[in-house]
Structures are given as structure tokens and as C-alpha cells.
Amino acid sequence: MLKISLAGAGTLILPGSGLLPAAAQSADEPHFFLLIVLNGGADCSYMFDARPLSMTKAGKIQNYLKQDPAPFSGRNGTGTLATSLVKPLLPFRDRFSILNGVYMTPSFDGHLQNMNFLFTGNAFGGDSFIPHLNLPDTGREPQSLDGVLSSDPVVVTVNNHSGVVPLMPRAVAGLANSLKQTPPLAGGELTEFIRGRMTANATGPGRLSAAAALMQAGLDKSPRVHRQLAQLTPASNRDSPEQQTLALITQCFRLSISRSAIYSPSEFFDVHATEQAKTQPKMFASAIGKVVTLLKGLVDTPFDDRRSMLDVTTVMVASEFGRTMRSPDGTVDDTGTNHNQFSNSILIGGKGIRSGLVIGASDLRDEVEEPSAAHLQLDPLQEKTMGLPFDFATLTTRPDMPAAFDIKDYLTIGSVVNTIYALFGVPKEHYRVLRRELPTAQVLKGLLT
Amino acid sequence: MRTVRGLLRSAGLAAAITLVLSTVSITQSGAQNAQFKGWAAISRELSTRLAAPGASFDLHKFVPADDLDELLGTWNRFGDEHTLQNGSPNSVSMVIWRVALSGFAKSVAGSCGQPRLTFHERFLTNLRKLCRWPAAEAKTDAVLQEFWFSVMGYNAPQSEYAAWREFFLTSYASRPAAETIDAMTLAITMNPHFLLHR
């Protein structure tokens, strides 16, 4: 059995050589955000919310790793079970905290609805939280872009991602070279005429008018973006794709190009079919390896002569939801899994985050644990684990078994996003509510440094 | 749901695609504003309007780097669904459009002598008249309108042509032909009516 203990945490040494001068950043305190999306609904039981093999033997939950997970304790004393797949993350365990039993959408279990909920707080889409981190009223001067998406796109219905721009490492060299050879379109009568036609067409309620307004806004920002993008330098071809991604992201942060970055590993965790489900150990090993590459790169890359990139970046690893313990059909060693919006796991660390904690938990932790009546209300067939009732003051789970479901009792993605909002100083008018008629989701104050 | 290209790249997942399609809907982000047509569509339109019969322009050479055309609006296929991605205007796409269309505009302007692209004869005939700018015969409404419709097509309202014509007859009244045609072409191709889906 893999033994994981706090004492076993690795020590990370920040590089002391090759120091950079203080980076170009107009605000007093640089702060960036990296969101790593595990696409398709990753099964938390393969990482930090694992279940004992005795549950598999009892036919309750598939486990294609076929190993008993190890106890894992946060520095706050809260325990969980972790699989051997997370071993590469252990050197960084003091750099992030684990949120288990995170409740996603109230009613929907579709990918898009839950990805929308992760980004916007609305199953049908809306305004994403990523651009809010770059608002001027956070007290920081906005970066040129709200975010860069440095992997294949995450499909989500959002209104406000015109400033979240796909930018792939492979495009950097050609783009920068070309922009160095072409002056920015700025000033002069021609530019003013081109801009004027955008302005003239931006009035009115139509879709073309809305796009013309975006064109004008983009044109106004383009000279600065042009000069910034021209400074990008491509990573070495010898670097792995994730190292190249990291190089691009850290340059975008350091050059004040972007406030946030979104990266989604290519692994797709939607494993309804048995054969897909059986690939989970391999998929998680691969995706975790990519996450580790990014974390290590953030630690090893200086932001300036005092801080690493991780010192100035808040990092969150999340999927749109977790998964059911198994499919109703077949035997437990020959089954896939479906969607579970009632329990998700999130890793969060970096700037402003109290790290090394385990916060929250999901129920049905062994083959004999009985669900609450609230659980049965939402999941009568007991296919899904569900977050346990949560005490927001102590960041611990509550021992009670609610008779009826009340979302105020649970740790939700709304709380996670509001905590990020609090960290970045986003005005409270943007905070997510638990439901339309309910108050805002509570900030996890104990998670903030 | 998943990233479209990523899924299609994954070998041996045909069954997964079928399964995912049954449970997932793909929607386009940012659907509240019109989207860019994309570089492929713009290239096709320009070829249709300006290239000699049977020829098409290789306009990809004007895009600053491989794959950057994807940032200007690109169609992705997921099973039998097609979605336009990256079609919402932003500062990066405006930079790329500008660089790419500047290259095209310079090619048009540089075609007063030896044509740099395989234009059709009617366009070349009119371009040669325009190449006499700032002479009066280059400034007739017939020449300007022919150039405008050749490049823009018929999707823009008359007011756009009027504004464009007025601007060049005043601000570029005495400038050299190459500079003027370059600017004329860029001004048309950076117009929202040229770049955006209606």
C-alpha cells in the first residue's frame, strides 16, 4: 500500500540563478490565474477522493487500478484516500489544497451544463468568471487579454470570452517574427477611417453591431497587443508540449499580455463504456504528469528576482463534474461510469491560497456507509457519491445526516469561484449566488492566506 | 463533450464519439455577436471575386504563421455537427487580420505593373485605371465603384461605399497610386461588412 504522509512532502527549491529584473507590471502586486481543465468529467476516485478495494469487492465501485488507496492527510488534519496515481503530485502537496465533495449544478448532469456552471454559474451559460479577474475595479490595471487558451478549446457557452484568446505554442515563432516585421496599426488617417467604419457599424442592437463593437475594441487594443506578442519567444522544439505551453503562459503573464490562462490536457475522461473506463489509470497518469510539468515549471520559472511564477499565480485544477461509482449494468470489473454533478474534486494552490489542506469530503466512503435522506432525495439509486454537509466556519464536514437537501449545507463550485473572486478583489456584484432566490455562496475564508 | 480536434485525434475512439454524441450537445461560445467568416471563407470570397477563371489565390501565405488562421474563425467538425470557433473579434484576431490583409493589400497595390496574383481580366483592367491615381481618370465613380464591388461584394450598404469613396478622394487625393490602392484595399477588407457573417 502506498503510504502518504506530510513528512514525505518534497522540498522545492526556487532557482537562485538567472534572475530577472522586476517584470513589467503596472499594478503593485502581480497576480495571475491558471485553470487546468480535466475534460469530460474526471473520476475523483482515481485521485484524492478514492475508495477502498473492499467497496469494489462489494460491487459498489469500479477500480481499474486494482490497488487499495492510501490514507492522505492534510495539514489541517482532514483525511482522505489517495491512489498511487497522485504520487507525482506529492512533491507539490504543500503547494496546493484539495477540495473534495464539491457540488456542481443543482439539477443538470450534462457536460455542457456543468462546464457552463463551472465557468459561469449558470447551466445554460452566461458571463465567465475568467474575465472578471481582469476587471479594472479589482484594483489592478487590466492585462491586454483576459486569458489565453493554450490547448484545444473547452466547449462552454459564454458571453464574455472575446478577451480569452486561443494561443498555441506552435504559433508563437511565426507570429512574433511576422509582427516584428510589421508596424502596429496605430495612428494615422487610414487607421482612423477603418476604426470609424467599425464605430459607425457598432451602433444598434444587431449581432453585426455587437461584433463591430468588438472589432473596434480589439483594434484599439491591437497596437499594444501587437508589440507584446512580437516579444514572445518560442520554446525549444526539444521541450515537451507541456513545457512549451508553460513557456507561453509564463511569457504571457510576465509580458502583461494576459491575466489568466486555461489549459486542458488532451485526455478525455468521459468513460461511459467499459473499455474506456479501463483506460482511466493510464489517462490519469498521463494527465497528472502534465499537471506536474506545469506546476514544476511554475515553481522553477522566476517571475522576477524575488518570486517564482507560482508565487504570483493561483492555480486551479478542475473537471466539470465527477463520475458515478459504476454503471448499473454489468459486473463491477466490467463497467463504465456516468456523470456525477454532486461530487467533484478541485485542486487549488499558488498565490493567496493556504496550501496543504484537505477540505470537504464525499459520502459513501465504504461499503457499509449509508447515505443521508438528502442524498437519497437526489440519488435514490445510490449511484453517485455526494458531498457531505459542510461547515464553512471550520472548513470541515458536518456529522449530521440532513433529512432533506438544502444547497446551503454543501460546498459548491459557487463558493470556490467566490473564493477566487475574493482573492482577486473582484467586486461583490459578480459573486455567485447559490440559487436565484438564495444568497451568495460563502467564501472559503480559511482557504485564503 | 470534449475538445473537438482532440477527440478526433484520439485513435480508436470511434465508439466514444458515438456515445458522446448521444449525451452531449456542442454549442458555440459567444453567440450574441456576429462571428468572423474565417480566413478560409475570406480567401474563397476573394478568389471568387478577383481570380481568373479556374484559378484561386494562395492567400495563406499572408497569414503570419501556420495555424494562426484558426484564430480568425474556423470550422470544426464533431461527428455530423459543425461549429465555428474563434469567430468572435478580439485584439489578437484584429492583429492577425491586419497583418494578413496588409499582405494581400500590398499584393493588389503592387500589381500595377506585373500582377502579383492571378486576377481576372476585368479586375485587372479596372486596377490599371486605378493605378493612374492621383490622375482624374482614376477617381471617377465608375472606377472606384468597380474596385469597391470587386473586393467587397454586395453585402455592404451604399453608405459604406460613400464613406470609403469620400475618404480617399479627400485624404489620399494627391498620394501615390501604390500607397492609395494599398490603403483602399485594406480599408475595404477591414470593414465589418467584409469580415463578418451577416
Q: Given a cut of 80, is residue A376 above it in pLDDT?
A: yes
pLDDT at B83: 72
Length, in residues, of chain A = 449
DSSP at A58: T
Q: A84: pLDDT confidence band, cut at 50, 70 and 90?
A: very high
Q: Given a cut of 50, is residue B15 above it in pLDDT?
A: no
Q: B8: pLDDT confidence band, cut at 50, 70 and 90?
A: very low
- Among B70, B91, B196, select the one facing A208 at the smallest CB separation: B196
Strand-pair category, A70-73 with A79-82: antiparallel
Strand-pair category, A164-166 with A145-149: parallel
Q: Which of A160, A193, A340 to mutate to test the interface with B (most CBs of B within 10 A)?
A: A193
pLDDT at A273: 96
Report how far residue B93's alpha carbon sits from residue A8's, in angstroms, rounded to the nearest whole number.
Answer: 47
Over residues A13-20, the mean pLDDT reads: 35
Whose cell is 503510504? That residue is A3
Q: Which of A172-181, A318-327, B136-145 has the lowest mean pLDDT?
A: A172-181
Mean pLDDT across chain A, nearest whole number?
91
Whose cell is 484524492? That residue is A48
What angle (nearest 5°) sits at the alpha carbon of residue B50, between those of residues B48 and B54? 55
User: Touching check for A230 and chain B: CB below 8 Å?
Assistant: no
Report how far residue B134's alpha carbon sits from residue B128's, in angstroms, rounded to the nearest whole number.
Answer: 12
Q: Chain B residues with CB inside 8 Å of A233's CB?
A: none
Nearest residue in A to B32, CA atom: A207
Kindly report the number of other CB atoms within 10 A of residue B37's CB atom: 20
- Inter-chain contact B2–A155, Cβ cutoff 8 Å? yes
- Inter-chain contact B171–A168, Cβ cutoff 8 Å? no
Q: Given a cut of 90, is residue B23 above it in pLDDT?
A: no
- Among B64, B102, B164, select the one facing A175 at the smallest CB separation: B64
Q: Which of B72, B91, B102, B180 to mutate to test the interface with A (most CBs of A within 10 A)?
A: B91
- Where does residue A397 rank: exposed (0-12), middle (13-18), buried (19+ CB within 10 A)? buried
pLDDT at B11: 37
- Inter-chain contact B24–A110, Cβ cutoff 8 Å? yes
A residues 248..267 contacting B (CB < 8 A): 264, 266
- Inter-chain contact A266–B16, Cβ cutoff 8 Å? no
Q: Which of A197-211, A382-396, B75-89 has the lowest mean pLDDT?
A: B75-89
Report how far residue A287's alpha carbon sits from residue A279's, in angstroms, rounded to the nearest whole number.
Answer: 12
User: Touching check for A170 and chain B: CB below 8 Å?
Assistant: yes
Q: Chain B residues with CB inside 8 Å of A182's CB?
A: 98-99, 102
Q: Which of A112, A149, A155, A168 to mutate to test the interface with B (most CBs of B within 10 A)?
A: A155
pLDDT at A15: 33
pLDDT at B77: 65
- Inter-chain contact B67–A170, Cβ cutoff 8 Å? yes
- Inter-chain contact A268–B160, Cβ cutoff 8 Å? no
- Inter-chain contact A210–B32, Cβ cutoff 8 Å? yes
Q: Given a cut of 70, is residue B25 above it in pLDDT?
A: no
Q: Given a cut of 90, is residue A284 above it in pLDDT?
A: yes
pLDDT in tens, B98-157: 999 999 999 999 999 899 999 999 999 999 999 999 999 999 999 999 999 999 999 899
Residues 6+ apart with CB under 8 A from A280: A43, A46, A64, A65, A269, A271
Share of chain B above pLDDT 90, in %: 62
Q: Given a cut of 80, is residue B5 above it in pLDDT?
A: no
Contact B50, B117 (CB under 8 A): yes
Report how far residue A122's alpha carbon sits from residue B36's, in angstroms, rounded to the nearest whole number.
Answer: 26
Rg of chain A in Å (alpha carbons): 23
Contact A348, A310 (CB under 8 A): no
DSSP states of chain B as a string?
---HHHHHHSTT-HHHHHHHHHH-----S-TTS--B--HHHHHHHHHHHHBPTT----GGGGSSSTTGGGGG-EEEEETTEEEEES-S--HHHHHHHHHHHHHHHHHHHTTSSS-SS-B-HHHHHHHHHHTTTTSGGGSSHHHHHHHHHHHHTT-S-HHHHHHHHHHHHHHTTTS-HHHHHHHHHHHHHTSHHHHB--
- Inter-chain contact A171–B193, Cβ cutoff 8 Å? no
Nearest residue in B to A272, CA atom: B19
- Among B13, B67, B98, select the one facing A222 at the smallest CB separation: B98
A residues 32..51 contacting B (CB < 8 A): 39-40
User: Touching check for A241 and chain B: CB below 8 Å?
Assistant: no
Q: A184: pLDDT confidence band, cut at 50, 70 and 90?
A: confident
Nearest residue in A to B184, CA atom: A190
DSSP states of A206-272 as a string?
SHHHHHHHHHHHHHHHHHHHHHHHHT--PPPTTS-HHHHHHHHHHHHHHTTSEEEEEE--S-B----
Size of interface A-B (CB pairs under 8 A): 212
Q: Which of B90, B168, B188 to mutate to test the interface with A (most CBs of A within 10 A)?
A: B90
Report how far residue A32's alpha carbon sits from residue A223's, in angstroms, rounded to the nearest whole number.
Answer: 23
- Among B1, B71, B198, select the one facing A111 at the smallest CB separation: B1
Architecture of domain A2-16+31-356: 3-Layer(aba) Sandwich (3.40)
- Where does residue B120 rank: exposed (0-12), middle (13-18), buried (19+ CB within 10 A)? middle
Whose cell is 476585368? That residue is B122
Q: Given a cut of 90, is residue A1 above it in pLDDT?
A: no
pLDDT at B33: 86
pLDDT at B18: 34
- Inter-chain contact B171–A211, Cβ cutoff 8 Å? no
Q: Which of B23, B24, B33 to mutate to test the interface with A (most CBs of A within 10 A)?
A: B33
Kindly report the number of other CB atoms within 10 A of residue B17's CB atom: 15
Q: Given a cut of 80, is residue B13 above it in pLDDT?
A: no
- Inter-chain contact B30–A273, Cβ cutoff 8 Å? no
Q: A194: pLDDT confidence band, cut at 50, 70 and 90?
A: very high
Cis preceding-peptide flag for B134 (omega within 30 of 0): yes
Contact A152, A444 (CB under 8 A): no
Rg of chain B in Å (alpha carbons): 20
Q: Which of A138-142, A185-189, A358-362, B36-40 has the lowest mean pLDDT?
A: A185-189
Q: Which amino acid, residue B126?
A: N
pLDDT at A162: 78
Whose cell is 459486473? That residue is A331
pLDDT in tens, A213-271: 999 999 999 999 999 999 999 988 899 999 999 999 999 999 999 999 999 999 999 99
DSSP states of A133-186 as a string?
TT-GGGTSPPPSEEEEE-SSPPP--BSS-TTEEE--GGGHHHHHHHHHHS----
User: Touching check for A268 and chain B: CB below 8 Å?
Assistant: yes
Report how far residue B39's alpha carbon sits from residue B75's, in angstroms, rounded to the nearest whole number.
Answer: 10
- Inter-chain contact A39–B31, Cβ cutoff 8 Å? no
Q: Is A316 helix (H, G, I), strand (E, B) or coil?
A: strand
Contact B1, A40 (CB under 8 A): yes
Virtual torsion, Cα A118, A122, A128, A130, nearest 10 deg: -30
Kindly report the number of other CB atoms within 10 A of residue B8's CB atom: 16
First to last CA, chain A: 34
Q: Given a cut of 70, is residue A65 above it in pLDDT?
A: yes
- pTM beyond 0.90: the answer is no
Q: Given a cut of 80, is residue A448 above it in pLDDT?
A: yes
